[in-house]
A = this chain, B = another copy of it.
Amino acid sequence: MKFNEKQATANLENLERIFTVPEDPSSTLGLIDNEISQNLVGFLTENIVACQQEIEDIETDFSDPVIPQDPKFVSAQTRFLLDKLVSKSVHTSSPSFVGHMTSALPTFMLPLSRIMIALNQNMVKVETSKAFTPMERQTIGMIHHLIYGREDEFYTRWMHDHHNCIGSFCSGGTIANITALWAARNHFLAPDGDFAGIGQDGLVAALQHYGYKGIAVLASERAHYSLAKSADILGIGRANIVTVETDRKQRVKTAELARRAKELKARGIMPFSVIGIAGTSETGSVDPLNELAEIAGDIGAMFHVDAAWGGPTLFSDKYRDILSGIEHADSVTIDAHKQLYVPMGAGMVVFKEPNLASSIEHHAEYVVRKGSKDIGSFSLEGSRSGMAMLVHSSLNIIGHKGYGILIDQGIEKARRFAELIKAQPDFALVSEPELNILTYRLVPEDLQQTLLDASEHEANQINEILNKLTKHIQKIQRARGKSFVSRTQLKPIEQHRYPVVVFRVVLANPLSTDEVLADILEEQRAIFAESSSQAIIAELDNIEPLTDVG
């Protein structure tokens, strides 16, 4: 504490000290630092409390917009963070928090991250990253090889070629998807004769030059919302993302997609990109990638696969076939902060062919000069951290086999959990896990048969009440802080037209055991038995049969 005093406040005249004098191990921050390295799980369990506080109440601790005039003790700020921020954050690595895509981290990630942060490299140019540049290129190459498995010569020729790149590292899947669509758009509307390309002359001139009325993207209606964002940013417009409906397994209907493509072309609107999803956010479904690749080829569009979630399934000898066809994609998105188990902020897009990235190449005079090895010429972001070091390390430390085991465990755990749900009289599985994500809901036993026998009109009313119930149980469970499943709304399934709200479970955390999952069902059942839930289900009594007024 004394040390921190000296460090921060006492020395307005000698501020350099905060850049040179290390944190005292006996200071508040030093002690926490040590505790985290010695007992990460314990630190998180003890310091993140099940916070019942509403977000509006938490806001009161973060309400002053004025930057304090005077320096503050490091220890005082640390104390504030512990009390007001850490304790009220989310225990994303908890084994019973299975509602999001953020898992536990391998413990070696913490000291490795410290090295990465201490080095503070900037990947934009070799000048501030040196060996980090080839390291990042190799990391991209390793993911490229996992997906495409090209021959040795390909990587020898292209992996470090500074006029090209076979992928781009970025902060996450959204940037990766935008980058992929940006490259596809620019490749489709490339320079041609007098026309300098869309990047130079813009979309209007591009359409004029090529004689198109518009351009469009074809994807499943289950595509990630970053796709709509991409279409907005790229000037295409969300309306020109043509979303195609899915089958019972939440996979895009390919015949319908091909039909829509034809229809668009007949109207002079060119579908320049077909998107396949390898692991939808909501149900983990995988589109028929081989068929999509064929359609894309037929209509002359680029084929992009969003494998932000499902990509690492390729590590599994048992299950990699689920992603069959991904090797035909022109570009693939993978998030490293999901199933590669690195900290938040690591995504990648890889390009099948090295020339695709050239359509998004940018240069400047003082940085990313033409002909330099600067990797910043091919990325949407400018300055970037050396996060690739963490991916490089985990690929080496966990290895192909290790990741394969983690993937197998997740998929098999999801299957067991699905069986468990089906065995319950008062729960109903809504989507079978294709990978390690499933959805379900609580449907009281006596209602299950009623729902099957009901007319569409009645079923819709029942579902409306069940949706309310699911939302209610999910919120209560989240607020109590013992466990967490997320919820989402699925489009109509089977014969019922009504959208269904479901519990969503993501099983990537190796620490989530079958027992933890069974407990989650028990807790939901207990919440259902409480009066607030019963009040919702009592609304069933008011359901009115359809009276034909014809």
Contacts and interface: CB of A to CB of B under 8 A. Distances in A.
Interface string A231-250: 11111111110000000000
A226 B122 contact: no
Given A8-B398, A51-B131, A89-B119, 14 more contacts: A18-B106, A19-B510, A23-B37, A55-B373, A58-B134, A61-B134, A74-B108, A90-B128, A127-B478, A172-B382, A175-B175, A175-B382, A182-B232, A282-B365
A107 interface: yes
B114 A113 contact: yes
28 contacts: A18-B397, A43-B118, A44-B119, A55-B134, A63-B159, A65-B138, A67-B145, A69-B400, A70-B401, A72-B397, A77-B393, A89-B132, A102-B120, A110-B114, A113-B117, A120-B343, A120-B344, A121-B344, A171-B345, A171-B381, A174-B382, A182-B233, A202-B231, A224-B364, A225-B368, A232-B360, A344-B383, A345-B383
A288 interface: no
Nearest to A133: B55
Interface stretch (A25-33, A421-429, A441-449, A515-523): A25-33
Interface in A446-469: none
B383 A173 contact: yes
Interface stretch (A80-88, A252-260, A294-302): A80-88
Given A58-B130, A202-B237, A41 B20 contact: yes
A362 B229 contact: yes
A29 B78 CA distance: 25
A156 interface: yes
A75 B104 CA distance: 21
B93 A120 contact: yes
Nearest to A229: B362
A231 B203 CA distance: 10
A318 interface: no
B72 A399 contact: yes
Contacts of A7: 108
Interface in A190-225: 196, 198-205, 207, 214, 224-225
Given A118-B43, A134-B62, A173-B383, A239 B399 contact: no
A135 interface: yes
The 10 A-B residue pairs with the shortest CB-CB distance in the complex, in nearest-first order: A235-B235, A202-B237, A174-B382, A225-B364, A88-B131, A366-B488, A33-B111, A62-B138, A344-B385, A65-B141
Nearest to A55: B373
A319 interface: no
A81 B128 contact: no
B85 A131 contact: yes
A402 interface: yes
A543 interface: no
A233 to B, nearest CB: 6
A100 to B, nearest CB: 5
A59 interface: yes
A106 B504 contact: no
Tell me which of A131, A141, A159, A200 has the highest count of chain B C-beta atoms within 10 A of its own C-beta: A131
Contacts of A87: 131
A137 B65 CA distance: 9
A59 B386 CA distance: 16
A160 interface: yes
B365 A488 contact: yes
B90 A399 contact: no
A470 interface: no
A401 B69 contact: yes
A536 interface: no
A64 to B, nearest CB: 7
B406 A15 contact: yes
Contacts of A397: 8, 18, 71-74, 77
A231 B199 CA distance: 8
